[in-house]
A and B are shown apart, each in its own frame.
Chain A
Amino acid sequence: MERADIEKLAELARIEITDATIDEVTRSITEVLQLVDQLQTADTQGVEPMAHPLDAVQRLRSDTVTETDQHAAFQNLAPAAEAGLYLVPKVIDQSDLIGTVE
Chain B
Amino acid sequence: MEWETVIGLEVHIQLATQSKIFSGAATAFGAAPNTQACAVDLAMPGTLPVANEAAFRYAVMFGLAVDAEIATTSVFERKNYFYPDLPKGYQTTQLAKPIVGRGHVDVQLAGGDSKRIRIHHAHLEEDAGKSLHEDFHGMSGIDLNRAGTPLIEVVTEPDMRSAEEAVACARKLHSIATSLGICDGDMSQGSMRFDVNISVRPRGDKTLGTRTETKNLNSFRFIEEAIKLEVARQIDLIEDGGRVVQETRLYDGDSKTARSMRSKEEANDYRYFPCPDLLPVVLEADYIDAIAKQLPELPDARQSRFVNEYGLSTYDAAALSSDAAGAAFFEALVAACGDAKQAANWLMGEVSARLNADERHIKDSPVSAAQLGGLIARVLDNTISGKMAKQVFEVMWKDGGDADTIIANQGLQQVSDTAALEAMVDAVIADSAKQVDNYRNADPAKRPKMLGYFVGQIMKASKGQANPQILNKILLKKLEPKNK
Binds B, one of A16-24, A25-33, A38-46, A86-94: A86-94
Distance in angstroms between the alpha carbons of A90 and B54 in the assembled complex? 37
Q: Would A65 and B26 be within 8 Å (CB), given that A95-B262, A97-B261 are in contact?
A: yes
CB of B79 to closest CB in A, whole Å:
8
Q: Is the interface of A mostly helix, strand, loop or mixed?
A: loop
Chain B residues in 8 Å Cβ range of A83: 33, 136, 141
- Cβ–Cβ contact B38 & A85, under 8 A: no
The chain A residue with its CB closest to the CB of B282 is: A57
Bound-state CA distance A82–B135 (Å) is 11
Q: Whose C-beta in chain B lies nearest to the C-beta of A61?
A: B50
Q: Is A4 in contact with chain B by the CB < 8 A criterion?
A: no
- The contact size tier of chain B is 35 or more
> Beyond A71-B35, A74-B34, A97-B261, is A51–B44 a contact (Cβ under 8 Å)?
no
CB contacts (< 8 Å) of A14 on chain B: these are 82
- Cα distance A58–B195 in the bound complex, in angstroms: 31
A102 cross-chain contacts in B, Cβ below 8 A: 195, 215
* Interface bits B44-66 vs A (CB < 8 Å: 1, else 0): 10000011111110000000000
Question: In the complex the two chains form, is A85's CB within 8 Å of B143's CB?
Answer: yes
* Contact present for B42 and A74 (CB under 8 Å): yes
**What is the distance, in angstroms, from A79's C-beta to the closest C-beta of chain B?**
11
A contact set with B: CB distance below 8 Å: 12, 14, 51-52, 56-67, 69-71, 74-75, 80, 82-91, 94-102
Chain B interface (Cβ within 8 Å of chain A)?
Answer: 12, 17-19, 23-26, 32-39, 42, 44, 50-56, 82-86, 91, 93, 125-128, 130-133, 135-136, 138-144, 151, 190, 193, 195, 215-216, 248, 250, 261-262, 268-269, 271, 274, 276, 278-282
Using A56-B279, A84-B35, A90-B138 as known contacts, list a sample of 7 further A-B pairs with CB atoms less than 8 Å apart, ordered by residue number in A. A64-B24, A80-B139, A85-B136, A86-B84, A90-B133, A99-B130, A101-B12
> Can you pick out 15 interface pairs between chain A and chain B where the beta carbons lie within 8 Å of each other?
A59-B279, A61-B50, A66-B19, A85-B33, A85-B132, A85-B141, A86-B141, A86-B144, A87-B136, A90-B133, A100-B127, A100-B130, A101-B86, A101-B91, A102-B215
